[in-house]
Amino acid sequence: MTRLHRRTFLLGGAAGVGGALLAGRPARGNGFYNIAVRTVNTTGTVTVSATANANSDGQQRNAHVAADPDGPGFAVVFEDQQGTAAPTVRVSGFNSATSKAYEVQAHGTGGTHKQPDVAMGAAGNAIVVWDEDADANGYFNIARKILTPTGGVKAAQASANASGGGQQLHPSVAANFNGDFAVAWETDHTGTPQIGVRSFTPLGAPRTPADTLVPGTDPQIGIDDQTSVAVNWTEANDIYAQGRNPDGTTTGRLPRLRVHTTTTGRQDEPAMTVDPWGLITLTYTDDNDGNTFDQIHLGTGLTNTVW
């Protein structure tokens, strides 16, 4: 899963049938945005174009997409804002790029809901997370909910974060083939900005009673088919990664590592994916010469194990 956020909010997911899926917000020239969906084959040719949102009124933005690793289905999540109303989070599920199965609001009415992310296992369930302030008190939790391939509720909305103090923001979610998933997010409930991490079963049951904490901001997360987790983040203009077991411990997993050797200038905007065997692939933006022009760096070869 990759994300070039703060640019076009473009997210790519590998399609189970080969190629890639892209969801983003193309300009219509009038200042209002829809969520476009594109399938791209292995030669780079766009094969299908679609739109995730049924209602084109207002603003649709911050799109993320996740693909079924064993078939053509996928889901797109996005923010929807109508006029001056608070944003909501919507989910569109597709049987394929040419067959939309459903579109639903992820939550009930009231409050502010934003910054969604989505993951999907081979069952085709959409695992959705987002910033949630349903009671409009100005404090956010990380909501999680699982939807079936037809848009039904597989697991009801609940909080991904165990600790509710302060602000919980900017979630990242990843799932493996079986549907096990993990969530990382920014938290300041201890008084210091950090990243919370927590693993869940395919039905949404947390594997730990408490959140695991790592330093930094802008978390990205991945999970392999053995349910081991890897987290990627920004800290002091550098990019780090670390592995975790499902219970939050680090035994046998990738030690905390700065993933680049050039430390001058700015490295930020990480993105990461973990394959079924724990192989980590990551990207980040780099401006080591300080000229305000970024390059995209790709890193391969890390594995989430020390064995």
Span 126-169, pLDDT tens digits:
999 999 999 999 999 999 999 999 999 999 999 999 999 999 99
- Dump pLDDT digits (tens) for 30-56: 788 999 999 999 899 999 999 999 999
Kindly indicate the confidence band of residue 6, based on its pLDDT and cuts at 50, 70 and 90. Answer: very low
Whether the per-residue pLDDT at 120 is higher than 50: the answer is yes
Provide the pLDDT for residue 15.
52
- Residue 30 has a pLDDT of 78
Please enumerate in sequence order all residues whose Cβ is within 8 A of that of 248, keeping only pairs 6 or more positions apart, or say none.
Answer: 197, 198, 199, 208, 210, 212
Angle subtended at Cα 14 by Cα 234 and Cα 295, rounded to the nearest 5 degrees: 40
Q: How confident is the model at residue 258 (pLDDT cuts 50, 70, 90)?
A: very high
Instruction: Provide the pLDDT for residue 11.
Output: 45
**Would you say residue 112 has pLDDT above 70?**
yes
- Segment 188-199 mean pLDDT: 97
| Mean pLDDT taken over the chain | 93
User: Domains in the chain, start-ordered, CATH in brackets?
Assistant: 2-303 (2.120.10.10)
Distance, CA of 199 to CA of 181 (rounded, Å): 6
Looking at the predicted structure, is the pLDDT value of residue 75 above 90?
yes
Q: What are the start-end ranges of the E strands in 122-163? A: 126-133, 141-147, 153-159
Rg over alpha carbons for the chain, rounded to the nearest Å, is 18
- Distance separating alpha carbons of residues 77 and 88, to the nearest angstrom: 11
pLDDT band per the 50, 70, 90 thresholds, residue 22: confident
pLDDT at residue 14 above 70? no
Lowest mean pLDDT among 2-6, 98-102, 116-120, 156-160: 2-6
Token digits for 5? 């956020």
